[in-house]
Amino acid sequence: MKHLLYSNLLAALGYFLGGQAGMLLAIPPGNATIVWPAAGIALAAVCIAGSRVLPGIFIGSQLIQTAFFLDISGSGSVTTAVLAGIIMTIGALLQAWLGARLVQGILNQDQALLRERSIILFSLLA
């Protein structure tokens, strides 16, 4: 139980910090960016720890998205920011879960990511 709590807290912190880094790369006034480091962190977390870290990713994503929507709305509508954040967070969860499902076959192979073919396939699927 303690291990699960730590895993989720680490996933939340990693996603939040990755999201903060991504926001630094965003094109104002929105959050459009070419690179979203939090997505890679979420994918790695689910590949390593499985879907049990999805609650942590949810928390980290919700925090970063709600903070963003509160910042751009200007009106301070917490309800709108939280709901918009939930919609974005669902997308983040699906992205991490589906990405992990797609690459698990490659990662479970002997000498995964040591052959050129597996590296290219992993990059395309992830």
Question: Is 17 part of any domain?
Answer: yes
Q: What is the 3-state secondary structure (H, E, C) of 12-39?
A: HHHHHHHHHHHHHCCECCCCECCCCHHH
Q: Give residue 42's pLDDT band: very low, low, confident or very high (50, 70, 90).
A: very high
Share above pLDDT 90 across residues of the chain, in percent, rounded to a whole number: 51
Q: State pTM to two decimals.
A: 0.84
- Whether 119 maps to a domain, the answer reads no
Segments forming the whole domain that contains residue 23: 2-100
The answer to whether residue 70 sits within a structural domain is yes
27-36, 51-60, 71-80, 107-116, range with the lowest pLDDT: 71-80
The pLDDT tens digits of the residues spanning 83-95 come to 988 999 999 999 9
Does 18 or 69 have the greater pLDDT score? 18
Question: Quick one: pLDDT band at residue 21, thresholds 50, 70, 90?
Answer: very high
What total of structural domains would you count in the chain?
1
Residue 112 lies in a domain: no
At residue 11's C-alpha, the angle toward residues 50 and 79, to 5°, is 115
Query: Would you say residue 30 lies in a domain?
Result: yes
pLDDT in tens, 44-58: 999 999 999 999 999
The span from the CA of 11 to the CA of 32, in Å, is 23
Q: Determine, yes or no, domain membership for 109.
A: no
Would you say residue 84 lies in a domain? yes
For residue 40, being part of any structural domain is answered with yes
For residue 74, what pLDDT is reported?
A: 63
